[in-house]
Amino acid sequence: MKSLNQRVKQILDDVGITHEEFLDGVTKGPGLGWWQREDRKCRGVALEVFIPDEPTAATLAKARGYCIGCPVRRECLYQAIIDIERVGVFGGESERRRRILRKWLVERRRAPAKECPAESAPSAA
Q: DSSP for 8-43, please give it.
A: HHHHHHHHT--HHHHHHHHHH-S-TTGGG-TT-TTT
Domain for residue 34, yes or no?
A: yes
Residue 122 scores a pLDDT above 80: no
Is residue 78 in some structural domain?
yes
Domain that holds residue 25: 4-111
Q: Is position 63 within any domain?
A: yes
Is residue 46 predicted with pLDDT exceeding 90?
yes
How far apart are alpha carbons 82 and 74 in whole angstroms?
12
Count of domains forming the chain:
1
Residue 123, domain member (yes or no): no
Is the entire prediction scored with pTM above 0.85?
Answer: no
Question: Terminal CA-to-CA distance of the chain, rounded, Å?
Answer: 15
How far apart CA 57 and CA 60 sit, in angstroms, is 5
Domain membership flag for residue 118: no
Instruction: Specify if 14 maps to a domain.
Output: yes
